[in-house]
Structure 1
Amino acid sequence: MRKIMALLIVLVLCFSSFAYADMNSPYRDGYIEGYIKDKVGDVIQIEEYDGTLHTLPFTNEAIYIIDDRDAKLVDFKSGMEIYATLQGKKINYIESYSTQNPGYIKEGSKIRVGTVKKIDRDQLTLKFSTGDEKTFFTSPATVTIKKEKNVDLNALYVGDRVKLHFDEANSDIISRIYIEGDSILIKNMYKGKIAVPNNLEDNITLENVQYFKNGKWENKEGLKTIPYNNEVPIYIGGQVVPYKNLKYYKGKTAYMVVKGFFGDDKIEKIEKLVIKNQYEATFSDKIEDINFYSENFELKNKRNIGFNDGTIIIKNGRLVDKYSLNPKSDAYIIADGRNNSLMADLIYVYNEDINNSNTGQNHVYSGQLDEIDTYSIKLDDFYVLDKNEWESFNDKKDLYYDEDTYIYDLENKKVIKPQELAAQDYAVDEDSDYAKKKNLRDWYGYIYTDGDRISAIYVQKNMDSLLRQRTTNGLVESVENDSKLGWTLKVQDAKDWSDRKEQWMSKNTSINISIDKALLIKNGKTIKSEDIKVGDRLYIVRDDIYGKVIIVK
């Protein structure tokens, strides 16, 4: 009997080890399996099959094997599936295969890992670490997850790194999409002269360093050393520079974009580097037309500029490839060359919108609450935000709410229940004796919707002057809860939409935004003021310093 009980205990313990992720199991077992998540220098981040992350260095005598042959650490790329043995908390043996196998396949399911190349409604094109591309499909049943929370598919951007899960091995219909967190976002853009490229220590030291802020380059004191290795190609004039030749470019100006390392903003790593070849010219203008065959685009000022695989292109805070450029984009451009022969070294796209792609159906309305019934609202003389401008409609619009709709009364500073919205006097028959006797008028609202469903609505007695309002996008520089002013944001890299010029206009200084009375949205849901963090990208509807609708992108 004791033997049977002992055996049952052992079996329970065995099955428990499979049911729950254990951060320490690789160190007890002496080995680790999974994927290479990220790598800088001689430190590697491995994601186990269950999603647990480990950041590990290597022993001095570590053995590297790819395809059963000796290799070097630099040969191991992000996305590779690996097996490694451990000596304490260091890797002493690691092996992988160079063949295309972006995901671990097990019975009844498969996984694919890559970077989003294109989003077209229900089609999602991924680019794998090998350079190969494949298109997959979403369905109404597809679940999208970011930072362990369910989000709308509209939370996905071109340039995001994702893990796709499939319920059937031979299916291209995605069951679950896991979006990598903020580590995918560009942290800084630098410009400086190459002082000391150190191939042995895998880093580059810059002098005369500048960083990009508020539409211009600002000086940064002292030298700056940034981790770098030959996994990221170096370009000059559209040509790849061998890593071993970087030392010959000492004194040359380099442009680079950096990200946080393993989600740590204090540690930066270079994502892309371009060396200036001839003479610098800068433009802040609209890209009118693009010819991908000849690899050039025409600006609104009729200047033609070339681009290539080496051009640094930043869009929605992410590093993207040249095919992600779109006509009618507003951008800051650094071009290299002379006279009429210019090649873009860097293109920083300003554009933002309410929806991240054509999968989104979110809208922002403002208007008079003409009728309120159970779970429905009729707007009168309403406005809708279209292409960053308020467009008016002398008409009525039916919208629908439910028990999950967030409703806030700005006058009384309180959340109200759906039943209260219908029962109280937020919409009245203004010609009735009841309304005249009590001097009642219809209220107005700022409304954020998913299609015709109201996700959130802020109601107030009087209509704001929408003519005074403008749309702005930018990056949160600081957040402060002032005892007198309330919650206030300082926003850098701000761009205002110009109706007259029909383009985003960069501001040359940071701006302050009061958010105490703003409708705040993130991932399709309302959030609190304290949920906005430094580094968040925002799409803002504002009246001078007063935010009205703020969407965290």
Structure 2
Amino acid sequence: MKKWISLIAILSLVFILTNSVYGENATFVYDGIPTYEALYENVKFNDIEKHWAEESIYKMASLSVIRGMGKHQFKPEERLTKEQALILLVRLLGLEGEAYTQAENSIDNKDTGKYQILTTFDYLSEGYIQTALNNNIVTQEEIDDIEELTETETEDIELETEKQMIKYERDLELTEAQLSNIENQLRQKLEKNYTWRKNVSREQVAVWVARALELTPIIGQAQQNIYNLKDWQDIDTDNLDIIEAVLQEEIMQGNTKGYFLPKSSIKRGEMAKLLDNIHEEILQNRGYKIFTGIIERIGTVYDWNNEAQLTRTVFRIENDDNTISELITRKNNEDGISVGFIGLKKGKIITSDKLEELDYIKYYVTPENEIIFAEVLNNQTTTLEGFIKDIDTDNRTITVENYDGNEFKINVSPGADIRVNNYTVELKDLLYGQEVTLNISKGSVIDIDGYLDTGEEGYIHPGERIFIGKVLYKNLEDNELTLLDNQKEKTFIVDPYTPVIKNDSNVGLEGIKEGDIVRLEFDEHNSNMPIKLYVSEPDRQYENLFKATVADFNPSRNQILLKDVSHYDNTEWIEDNKNIILPLNYDTDIYIDGKGINKQYLDSYIGREAYIVTEDNFGKEEALKIVFKNGYEKQYYNSVQNIAFGDRKITVDYNQVYFDDSTIIIKDDKLIHPYNLKEDDDVFVVSHGMDTYTAAFISVEGIEDNVYIVYRGRMDEIGQYNFELDNYDILKGTEWDYNSKQTEFNISDDTKIIDTRDKEVKEVSVKEFTNSRFLKEDDKDNYYREYAYAVEYNDMIIAMNIIDDNDEAQVVTTGKVDTLDKINSRITLDDIRDWSDFEDKWIVNTSKVTLDVSDAIFIKNGKVVTINDISEGNSLYILRENDDGYIVIVR
């Protein structure tokens, strides 16, 4: 009787402890699995320590996706076969049951006497391959191709079969029919070694993975990555579109040298990493639950059952989705039966008893609601460096702009360590514009390190005071730069010798464009002259402009589904004929009828057409602004006749179009402010409305004036560091002017001179050029009275191209580099605009143009370069005659 009273008391205590320590409203309770100890032993590999894929191997093995090779060996450097690759994908998809059924159906029950030729694994292999075929991972065409044998392979198999048959033919108990069945099965077994047990290529794995994930092939201009690979031509043409999808999903990528190596084999360690990249969504589709949260409390209670002591441990998890989970493990010390789970901590495999309070974990729950694996994420702290843009002490948030001009608004943990000059301060003590380093864990700031100068008043350490803003105007004559920050204009004086750094190059004030985000550094508190400028925004501030129907909104994944999609390209809408799933930015602007709305109301506008501009957010394309179409659409392409900023309207083609905060305005691939619009700008306008029309989108088709002046004329005099041109033409921006006067120009030892009069381009030193005045007048190397193009920059001729008299460029062209053939000196351009003197505007050229630039001078950032310094995607300004380029300037 006392034993029962004791048991009841203990059970009551367990109940009280459970409800008091862990709370009455726990949302989920998950038990461990009874096989966790065996699983733990199976994944304790002794050959993967310090291997680059060690954590992925442990994780995939713990989730029973990939298995070892026996004797605690994983063999991460062993090559993967075609057979093994399909088995892993089928297993990850949870189709093992189907594979076993297919294996049973493939069993060959023919009489082979007392011998078993085909093993269980041979039949399982057939089952996995058939399952992969049934689920569209592999095609019948690929199977046929893999199983096709060469004449030599067939001969080798027959020789090996005959060799092995000798043993069986000596067995006089076997009948002819049994020997025939043995021979056929031997041949079948040997064929596997020449087909499915050959190494699988990276390209083949990429294709099979894409099908397993049901990725949509990416075609046309949406292809962003495939052509950046140096060996993309080695990929089968039929596979380019689907591998592009794999690259964009960051499932696979090229190596550090830019090669994909499509025909190379893949290793077991590499496959483990690949499976790690794709497993989460697949497991969730199979019914797994994946949570992240912090272990708030670990409680242990002891119980007795039939004299056996039972240890029960409860891990209380506060999940990131504001739910609570209790993970239960049990151990029976009497009979050894227990349930639990394994995990990964600091890169090593562990059992659940090694977890600690305050560990931040990601854990996996099976469809049977059993906890199987937990990964400790404590060591995954990220660092953010930049400048404070805003502090909200009430909500404990800080907004920081990093050095690339991107803003991040982050919660500050209540226990965060905040220091300035190594002194502890409070959040309210931090200053706007102050440079800080944040350490972030679990989505919150855990410490802040800031710095302030304590030197004499007026002078500060260079770079301590900064100003960040968007370029509104630049005035090269007065060396002024006007920035816009929080809708306030501020003008700065930029000394001609002040460094202006863009992509690690000093580009000068001329290299800054309207719409650029720049960071100015000062060495005095009240100075209006920065000591250094950084152009911190990439050349392209937006990724795509779509017109599409918003078909669905998934708030849990923060993404929208677009259908009937078209993208903007060179004053045209190009139909994509596909659906797009597009993530939203953390602060995506959404407008309906010119008014901003919260994304939680997106459900109310499903089925409506919208204009969507996107940006590349660390390799992930996200919606930056969504403008729902309201009424009918009209399009205009002409010069701006009038702008009324007060009334917020422009006149194009004698039509008045309004603009507001919802209007998307771009120029030179950048999002710009309405103040950057100017009269006489050539613009493409898409407006919508009923009685009055508002611009959804304005694209400024013109370009900024070129800072380089190009001359074409005849050289009449050559001096030591100068020469004269007579009867020359001047190209400033787009306009050619004629000058009949002789004018002197300066050159230096840095001037680049080439002679393109013959088939072979000849480089001419400045000394050879100036000394040519002492040669006879009819000497070919005397450049007196020869014609030349000369490029002037900052009152100095930086480059000359000596040409034949009949070589005369006809067209000024701008465009983006689509492809480069550096060996044959050819550039193919896209997004082309040709200047028309007759129409006095840029004419859009919708076709691609390939130019021969073997006789061209290349200029970039004020310096003469070569075609090797040109990259795909560069914007170029080119002076050309038909398909021959003479002057190529990187804009």
TM-score, length-scaled by structure 1: 0.78
Structure showing the higher strand proportion among its residues? 1
Q: Does 1:336 align with 2:677?
A: no
- Per the alignment, residue 638 of structure 2 pairs with 285
Kindly indicate whether the alpha-carbon contact (under 8 Å) linking 1:492 and 1:510 is maintained by their aligned counterparts in 2.
yes
Same amino acid, percent of matched pairs: 28
RMSD after superposition? 3.7
Deviates more, 1:409-418 or 1:150-159: 409-418
Helix, strand or coil for the counterpart of 1:435? coil
Kindly indicate whether the alpha-carbon contact (under 8 Å) linking 1:211 and 1:220 is maintained by their aligned counterparts in 2.
yes
Deviates more, 1:402-411 or 1:366-375: 402-411
Kindly indicate whether the alpha-carbon contact (under 8 Å) linking 2:494 and 2:509 is maintained by their aligned counterparts in 1.
no
Out of 696, 699, 702, the residue aligned to residue 345 of structure 1 is 696
The alpha-carbon distance between structure 1 residues 36 and 488, as it changes in their structure 2 partners (threshold 3 A), is farther
Helix, strand or coil for the counterpart of 1:229? strand
Say which one has the larger Rg: 2
Helix, strand or coil for the counterpart of 1:423? helix
In the TM superposition, residue 537 of structure 1 has moved relative to its aligned partner by: 1.2
Kindly indicate whether the alpha-carbon contact (under 8 Å) linking 1:79 and 1:114 is maintained by their aligned counterparts in 2.
no
Kindly indicate whether the alpha-carbon contact (under 8 Å) linking 1:353 and 1:539 is maintained by their aligned counterparts in 2.
no
Match of 1:123, as an amino acid? E
The alpha-carbon distance between structure 1 residues 473 and 436, as it changes in their structure 2 partners (threshold 3 A), is closer
Distance 1:54 1:319 in 2: 14
CA deviations 1:233-267 (Å, max 9, x no partner) are 222332222222222111222212223223x4xx3
Helix, strand or coil for the counterpart of 1:173? coil
- Per the alignment, residue 382 of structure 1 pairs with 728
In the TM superposition, residue 384 of structure 1 has moved relative to its aligned partner by: 0.8
Q: Does 1:236 align with 2:592?
A: yes
Q: Does 1:120 align with 2:458?
A: no
Distance 1:57 1:113 in 2: 17
The alpha-carbon distance between structure 1 residues 309 and 120, as it changes in their structure 2 partners (threshold 3 A), is farther
CA deviations 1:355-377 (Å, max 9, x no partner) are 3xxxx4x3111111111111111
Q: Does 1:85 align with 2:436?
A: no
Match of 1:403, as an amino acid? D
Distance 2:639 2:865 in 1: 34
Match of 2:848, as an amino acid? S
Q: Does 1:321 align with 2:673?
A: yes
The alpha-carbon distance between structure 1 residues 62 and 268, as it changes in their structure 2 partners (threshold 3 A), is farther
Helix, strand or coil for the counterpart of 1:191? strand
Q: Does 1:523 align with 2:861?
A: yes
CA deviations 1:179-216 (Å, max 9, x no partner) are 12536433322211112233332322211111122431
The alpha-carbon distance between structure 1 residues 364 and 28, as it changes in their structure 2 partners (threshold 3 A), is farther
**Superposed counterparts of 1:356-367, under 5 Å:** 360=707, 362-367=708-713
Kindly indicate whether the alpha-carbon contact (under 8 Å) linking 1:214 and 1:510 is maintained by their aligned counterparts in 2.
no
Helix, strand or coil for the counterpart of 1:245? helix
Helix, strand or coil for the counterpart of 2:686? strand
Match of 1:320, as an amino acid? I
Match of 2:666, as an amino acid? I
The alpha-carbon distance between structure 1 residues 53 and 249, as it changes in their structure 2 partners (threshold 3 A), is closer
Kindly indicate whether the alpha-carbon contact (under 8 Å) linking 2:404 and 2:537 is maintained by their aligned counterparts in 1.
no
Deviates more, 1:492-501 or 1:179-188: 179-188
**Superposed counterparts of 1:168-317, under 5 Å:** 168-180=524-536, 182=538, 184-229=540-585, 231-262=587-618, 264=619, 267-299=620-652, 301-317=653-669
Kindly indicate whether the alpha-carbon contact (under 8 Å) linking 1:183 and 1:260 is maintained by their aligned counterparts in 2.
no
Q: Does 1:539 align with 2:877?
A: yes
CA deviations 1:294-317 (Å, max 9, x no partner) are 111112x31221111221110122
- Per the alignment, residue 9 of structure 1 pairs with none
Helix, strand or coil for the counterpart of 2:603? helix
In the TM superposition, residue 111 of structure 1 has moved relative to its aligned partner by: 1.4
- Per the alignment, residue 522 of structure 2 pairs with 166
Helix, strand or coil for the counterpart of 1:395? coil
Helix, strand or coil for the counterpart of 1:116? strand
**Superposed counterparts of 1:332-481, under 5 Å:** 332-338=684-690, 341-355=692-706, 360=707, 362-411=708-757, 412-424=760-772, 434-435=776-777, 442-466=785-809, 469-481=810-822
Distance 1:367 1:104 in 2: 58
Distance 1:437 1:156 in 2: 45
Helix, strand or coil for the counterpart of 1:232? strand
Match of 2:521, as an amino acid? H
CA deviations 1:413-457 (Å, max 9, x no partner) are 2322211111126x98xxxxx436889762111111114311111
In the TM superposition, residue 270 of structure 1 has moved relative to its aligned partner by: 2.7
Distance 1:80 1:316 in 2: 32
Distance 2:710 2:527 in 1: 37
Distance 1:324 1:437 in 2: 53
In the TM superposition, residue 224 of structure 1 has moved relative to its aligned partner by: 1.4
Structure showing the higher helix proportion among its residues? 2
Match of 1:112, as an amino acid? F
In the TM superposition, residue 283 of structure 1 has moved relative to its aligned partner by: 1.3
Distance 1:54 1:112 in 2: 14
The alpha-carbon distance between structure 1 residues 173 and 548, as it changes in their structure 2 partners (threshold 3 A), is same
In the TM superposition, residue 281 of structure 1 has moved relative to its aligned partner by: 0.9
The alpha-carbon distance between structure 1 residues 436 and 458, as it changes in their structure 2 partners (threshold 3 A), is closer
The alpha-carbon distance between structure 1 residues 236 and 471, as it changes in their structure 2 partners (threshold 3 A), is farther
The alpha-carbon distance between structure 1 residues 243 and 292, as it changes in their structure 2 partners (threshold 3 A), is same
Match of 1:331, as an amino acid? V
The alpha-carbon distance between structure 1 residues 253 and 502, as it changes in their structure 2 partners (threshold 3 A), is same
Distance 1:531 1:343 in 2: 42
In the TM superposition, residue 104 of structure 1 has moved relative to its aligned partner by: 7.3
The alpha-carbon distance between structure 1 residues 349 and 29, as it changes in their structure 2 partners (threshold 3 A), is closer
**Superposed counterparts of 1:492-531, under 5 Å:** 492-531=830-869
In the TM superposition, residue 126 of structure 1 has moved relative to its aligned partner by: 2.3
The alpha-carbon distance between structure 1 residues 416 and 364, as it changes in their structure 2 partners (threshold 3 A), is same
Unaligned runs of 5+ in 2: 1-377, 390-397, 419-424, 454-459
The alpha-carbon distance between structure 1 residues 64 and 464, as it changes in their structure 2 partners (threshold 3 A), is farther
Helix, strand or coil for the counterpart of 2:585? coil
